[in-house]
Structure 1
Amino acid sequence: MPVQQNDNIFLRLLKFSNVALVVTFCAMVVSVLISYPYADLFSLQTQIFAHISTIVIAAFLKVSYVTRCLAQYNLGLEVR
């Protein structure tokens, strides 16, 4: 696989990971807000769903961060 094509793949992965990080972060904030400070405004079923989704979203957030680090490392960028 040529180097240019490899870089192109990791650039696309980096862009996708950045978008996924933003989306999962926003979803995490919403699920935590529904679960705790605004719980009295939502039904019990919604609260249960928010609590469960907090765990699932956290997993996606971590995977997004790891793929971002992987892309940065392979592009020779500073991994942080």
Structure 2
Amino acid sequence: MHILLWSHAAAAGQPGGAGVPGPLILESEDLRKDFEVMRRRGVAFEESEPVDYPFGVRIEAVNPDGNRISLRQQGKP
């Protein structure tokens, strides 16, 4: 699993300014397996299952502090 940090502009109504951290991105080689492990351990996801996109598979969670955690698996070329 790889960890990626993605910066973005502050969202409206959110504290902070330039350099506000974006979501934490966990890149997986088997997202559906990792999703099941995390779900069994109590991670609350926004969707009930990972979603397929043209670029791969993705699902997102928000931790109790409001930080977004995005899990993704890149598609095969």
TM-score, with structure 2 as normaliser? 0.24
Larger Rg: 1
TM-score, with structure 1 as normaliser? 0.24
More helix by share: 1
- Tell which has more relative contact order, 1 or 2 (C-alpha 8 A, sep 6+): 1
More strand by share: 2
